[in-house]
């Protein structure tokens, strides 16, 4: 596209789009962050979209508070857990100390990290392009990414890792692309790498080595690496990380390091599992040397799917434009981001799993690239244009609101709140369409991103009567109501994930042990037991009083669900598959 060129930094040519093609906006980055936080808050404050791995971090944080040992996280059974660094545990524990133990306190540090990543993405895009419109669009693309949204509402290190990797990349891009050898850039580069290492391990080291290698490739001179070394920031990072590692080794010895390395490296590189078969006994089907050849394209497909609908527009524009270096992001920065993406894809392709979460560390950087490409595509007639996609999404949201009202109207509750909520949703859909397509109050891209956020809220409202209250919440209410005097230890027979959620609901004063099966020898040490309705029958008549502690809805078949919706019998269908958890107290 025709346009002008500006210089911003050393050897950084930035294509500036004609003013008529720019996406104008009345929104600010603060508005986007606030709307993202408000959309995420209902999920962060409940266990509606609970992820099983969260139990490691909530249990570890509670154990830190209970025993005062902050060096190494521990499981609920008191065993040290060396698989992941402690920053995620520390974050949850500090939140518990500040706000009290609870679901929202568990997730708050990670939601704040997600908001911080949105701000960093905006700053990075604005620094690279000099365009506020592109920077806002980058933030919009990121907040609509489903895996980014999910990682921001869960007690897991992913959100922290994404924030610190983005911070480190921001610092290195300033150093390499713009040659801004200032303290702020160095501290961002190495401080971000330290935070990434304390969040999830070796990726913090990988980003430093990659940046050094990229600078060497750019200059073809080893002195390029020397220019990237800043002794104060690098030394501070090494001292902090080394001190933590030294403390763990001093207390637990080399086996702790072996467990960590196995989780980070050898336990994941299954493509060459034959090298480790004698140690790990991996199934032969996982050990094919050619497995990375299909996993790498699979990860690429994961990227494309997660960035829908934006990737559809960009891919069509690429096909028509046939210029992969277009856009207003400097060419050198594009190469940095794409090379880092390729490195992560290649590394994760050596593993056995193709997870939707693994490529999260590169998501903000790719959002910046996509924003630059979308800006260039704004003046081109495309089949998958942003305006056309927005119309489709708004139509889908309208249908979703109708489905939400239909489902919720079948609950045994007053219809007035659901009418008001559905009307509010329809007003929001209409406002987005009118503001973007008619009044031009904001761009179609911004309306599309906000429409995707609205979709999350509609989903929550639709599923809320089914998913909530969570069984852990019901159990906690029952235990508190029936407890006289100090909290007594509780034994939960069943799911380890449920036990972890109950601990969060009850707080650090309570002790909730967990076993998989009802064992008379273990039961003898407790006066309060949580069991399934089936297992509770074994306790009746043996000195135990049994009452219902929680009721959870089961999953009806597709035919049952369709018939229930068709004839207005959804509550009956769900109740037919309900499962009870009982509290047995020793008389």
pLDDT tens figures, 221-264: 889 999 999 999 999 999 999 999 999 999 999 998 888 888 88
Query: Who wins on pLDDT, 206 or 269?
Result: 206
Contacts of residue 389, Cβ cutoff 8 Å, sequence gap at least 6: 309, 312, 313, 448
H or E segment to which residue 530 belongs: strand 528-532
The yes-or-no verdict on residue 213 having pLDDT over 50 is: yes
> What phi, psi does 37 have (nearest 5°)?
-65, -40
Q: How would residue 7 be classed by pLDDT, with cut points 50, 70 and 90? A: very low
- Among 101-115, 219-233, 363-377, 570-584, which is the least confidently predicted range? 570-584
Per-residue pLDDT averaged across 366-389, rounded?
Answer: 90
What is the number of other CB atoms lying within 10 angstroms of the CB of residue 325? 10
- To the nearest whole number, what is the mean pLDDT of the chain? 87
For residue 159, whether the previous peptide bond is cis, meaning omega lies within 30 degrees of 0, is no
How far is residue 71 from each of residues 135, 324, 469, measured CA to CA in Å? 39, 47, 35
Supply the pLDDT for residue 413: 58
Supply the pLDDT for residue 323: 67
Per-residue pLDDT averaged across 256-283, rounded?
Answer: 62
Q: How would residue 335 be classed by pLDDT, with cut points 50, 70 and 90? A: very high
Task: Identify any residues that bridge with 579 across adjacent strands, giving them in sequence order.
Answer: 552
Task: Identify any residues that bridge with 7 across adjacent strands, giving them in sequence order.
Answer: 13
**pTM for this structure?**
0.91
The yes-or-no verdict on residue 278 having pLDDT over 50 is: no
- Domain spans of the chain? 28-156, 157-265, 386-467, 471-586
Pairing of strands 490-493, 512-515: parallel
CA angle 191, 194, 198 (to 5 degrees): 140
What is the rounded distance in angstroms from the CA atom of residue 22 to the CA atom of residue 321?
18
User: Is residue 175 within 8 Å of 186, Cβ to Cβ?
Assistant: yes
What is the rounded distance in angstroms from the CA atom of residue 503 to the CA atom of residue 61?
11
Q: How would residue 412 be classed by pLDDT, with cut points 50, 70 and 90? A: low
* Per-range mean pLDDT, top range of 14-28, 367-381, 399-413: 367-381
Supply the pLDDT for residue 410: 73
What is the rounded distance in angstroms from the CA atom of residue 434 to the CA atom of residue 311?
24
Supply the pLDDT for residue 483: 85
The yes-or-no verdict on residue 271 having pLDDT over 60 is: no
For residue 563, what are its two tokens? 């018939």
Supply the pLDDT for residue 4: 39
Burial of 244 (0-12, 13-18, 19+ CB in 10 A): middle
What is the rounded distance in angstroms from the CA atom of residue 273 to the CA atom of residue 283?
9
Contacts of residue 55, Cβ cutoff 8 Å, sequence gap at least 6: 76, 496, 497, 499, 500, 501
Q: How would residue 24 be classed by pLDDT, with cut points 50, 70 and 90? A: low
Contacts of residue 218, Cβ cutoff 8 Å, sequence gap at least 6: 176, 224, 332
Q: How would residue 11 be classed by pLDDT, with cut points 50, 70 and 90? A: very low
Q: What is the pLDDT of residues 484-522, one digit of tens each?
A: 778 889 999 989 999 999 999 999 889 999 999 988 888
The yes-or-no verdict on residue 286 having pLDDT over 80 is: no
H or E segment to which residue 188 belongs: helix 183-200
For residue 47, what are its two tokens? 């266990």
* Per-range mean pLDDT, top range of 125-129, 401-405, 412-416, 554-558: 125-129
């Amino acid at each position: 596209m025709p346009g002008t060129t500006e210089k911003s930094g050393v050897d950084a040519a930035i294509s500036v789009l004609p003013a008529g093609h720019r996406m104008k906006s009345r929104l600010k980055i603060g508005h986007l962050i606030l709307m993202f936080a408000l959309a995420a808050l209902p999920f962060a404050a409940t266990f509606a979209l609970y992820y099983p791995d969260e139990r490691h971090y909530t249990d570890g944080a509670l154990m830190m508070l209970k025993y005062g040992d902050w060096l190494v996280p521990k499981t609920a059974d008191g065993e040290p857990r060396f698989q992941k660094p402690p920053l995620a545990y520390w974050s949850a524990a500090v939140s518990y100390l500040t706000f009290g133990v609870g679901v929202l306190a568990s997730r708050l540090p990670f939601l704040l990290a997600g908001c911080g990543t949105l701000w960093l993405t905006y700053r990075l895009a604005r620094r690279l392009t000099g365009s506020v419109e592109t920077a806002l669009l980058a933030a919009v693309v990121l907040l609509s990414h489903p895996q980014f949204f999910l990682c921001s509402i869960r007690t897991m290190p992913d959100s922290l890792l994404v924030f610190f990797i983005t911070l480190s990349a921001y610092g290195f891009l300033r150093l390499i692309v713009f040659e801004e050898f200032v303290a702020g850039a160095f501290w961002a580069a190495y401080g971000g790498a330290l935070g990434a290492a304390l969040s999830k391990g070796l990726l913090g080291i990988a980003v430093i080595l990659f940046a050094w290698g990229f600078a060497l490739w750019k200059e073809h001179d080893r002195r390029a690496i020397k220019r990237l070394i800043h002794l104060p920031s690098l030394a501070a990072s090494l001292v902090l990380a080394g001190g933590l590692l030294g403390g763990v080794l001093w207390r637990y010895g080399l086996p702790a390091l072996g467990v960590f390395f196995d989780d980070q490296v050898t336990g994941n590189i299954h493509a060459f599992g034959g090298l480790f078969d004698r140690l790990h006994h991996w199934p032969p089907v996982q050990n094919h040397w050619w497995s990375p050849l299909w996993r790498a394209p699979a990860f690429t497909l994961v990227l494309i799917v997660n960035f829908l609908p934006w990737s559809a527009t960009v891919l069509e524009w690429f096909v028509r434009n046939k210029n992969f270096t277009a856009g207003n992001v400097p060419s050198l920065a594009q190469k940095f981001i794409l090379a880092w993406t390729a490195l992560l894809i290649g590394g994760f392709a050596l593993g056995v799993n193709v997870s939707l979460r693994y490529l999260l560390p590169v998501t903000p950087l790719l959002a910046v690239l996509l924003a630059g490409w979308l800006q260039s595509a704004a003046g081109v007639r495309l089949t998958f244009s942003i305006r056309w996609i927005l119309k489709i999404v708004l139509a889908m949201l309208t249908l979703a609101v109708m489905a939400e009202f239909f489902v919720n109207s079948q609950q045994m509750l007053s219809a007035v709140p659901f009418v008001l909520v559905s009307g509010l949703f329809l007003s929001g859909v209409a406002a987005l369409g009118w503001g973007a397509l008619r009044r031009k109050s904001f761009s179609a891209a911004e309306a599309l991103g906000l429409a995707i956020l609205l979709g999350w809220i509609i989903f929550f409202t639709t599923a809320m009567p089914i998913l909530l209250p969570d069984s852990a919440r019901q159990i906690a209410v029952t235990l508190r109501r029936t407890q006289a005097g100090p909290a007594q230890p509780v034994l939960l027979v069943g799911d380890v994930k449920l036990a972890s959620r109950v601990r969060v609901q009850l707080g650090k004063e309570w002790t909730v042990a967990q076993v998989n099966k009802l064992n008379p020898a273990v039961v003898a040490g407790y006066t309060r037991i949580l069991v399934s309705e089936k297992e509770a029958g074994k306790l009746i008549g043996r000195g135990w009083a049994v009452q219902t502690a929680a009721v959870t809805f089961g999953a009806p078949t597709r035919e049952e669900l369709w018939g229930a919706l068709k004839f207005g019998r959804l509550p009956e269908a769900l109740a037919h598959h309900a499962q009870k958890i009982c509290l047995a107290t020793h008389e």
